[in-house]
Structure 1
Amino acid sequence: MEQPPPHEPHQPPPDRPRSHTVTTTTSSSFTGRFSSASSTLAYDREFLRTLPGLLMVAEIVFGLLVWTLIAGTEYFLYPVFGWVMFVAVFYWVLTLFFLIIYMTMTYTRISQVPWTTVGLCFNGSAFLLYLIAAIVDACAVTKELNSHNYNSWAASSFFAFVVTCCYGGNAYFSFVSWRSRTLQ
């Protein structure tokens, strides 16, 4: 058996026949999918006219007041207010997320998720943790603690109870929706 002679390192390898034909194709499947996906994005204006929608907007507005009133103070010196900040910011972000889901009707396209159960768990946990945070916030507000921040902390405590009531209302509506879904 004869082996081909090795080529020397300074010499290029032997020429191989190459194809000089370049084939390009264009596909509109991506643009077609993109345009069809964006055209199916729905907007539910009627959701904001329902009581759960109005409560959700109130949760966002008053929740924003809770955490901005505390964030403008030296809350980090008192661990109690750190807990209230955590609850307020955490549920504010999640409520904003759920508002977007309900406004764009994304829940109709993700049918694998039991949305009534998710809504019940979310609103129930928000009610419970906000109630604890509001009570802790109210108990921690004293004039002796820091008179400079007293008004902000007192106002945040008031709005924390308002948000708690809103989440309680939405927890009730979520329970009614969940209960009617499970009875079907």
Structure 2
Amino acid sequence: MEEAQRSRSHTVTTTASSFTENFSAASGSFAYDREFLRTLPGILIVAEIGLCFNGSAFVLYLIAAIVDASSVTKERDSHNYNSWAASSFFAFMVTICYAGNTYFSFLSWRSRTVQ
């Protein structure tokens, strides 16, 4: 009976490796491939990243501009009012710029996907 249990036993081998060994630059898993960025799929990935950045920046600046504009109140001190009004104006100007960038990035991305 003891021999039957021994025949069922198996050997377990474990190895240990360091975390940095797996993610070192020499391993090549996260290597920068300049040639890939010159291909059509590489260009599309970069355009999607430009497009996603501009789109998210537009949404975040729009929220900030709306919050900034809603906090402007007319007080006795005209300096505070003018400062808040100016910051609100420029927040909407930046929002419009990011909206334009998002639109043009989308057009650029769209024209590359059609090809």
TM range (shorter): 0.5 to 0.7
Letter of the structure 1 residue corresponding to residue 111 of structure 2: S
Q: Equivalent residue for 1:139?
A: 70
Of 135, 146, 149, which aligns to 2:80?
Answer: 149
| Structure 2: segments with no counterpart, 5+ residues | 1-33
Counterpart CA distance in 2 for 1:175 and 1:145 is 46
How much has 1:179 moved relative to structure 2? Answer: 0.9
CA distance in 1, matches of 2:72, 2:49: 34
Quote the offset at 1:150 in angstroms. Answer: 1.9
Number of aligned residue pairs: give it.
77
TM-score, with length taken from structure 1: 0.37
Q: 1:163 to 1:109 in 2, by over 3 A?
A: farther
Normalized per residue, the structure richer in helix is 2
TM-superposed deviation, 1:138: 0.4
- Structure 1: which 5+ residue stretches go unaligned? 1-107
Match of 2:53 in 1: 122
Q: Please, what TM-score do these two structures have when normalized by structure 2?
A: 0.58
CA distance in 1, matches of 2:55, 2:68: 20
> Percent of counterpart pairs with the same letter?
71
Moved over 3 A (4+): 144-148
The CA deviation string for residues 103-123 of structure 1, in whole angstroms up to 9 with x for no partner, is: xxxxx7782572100110011
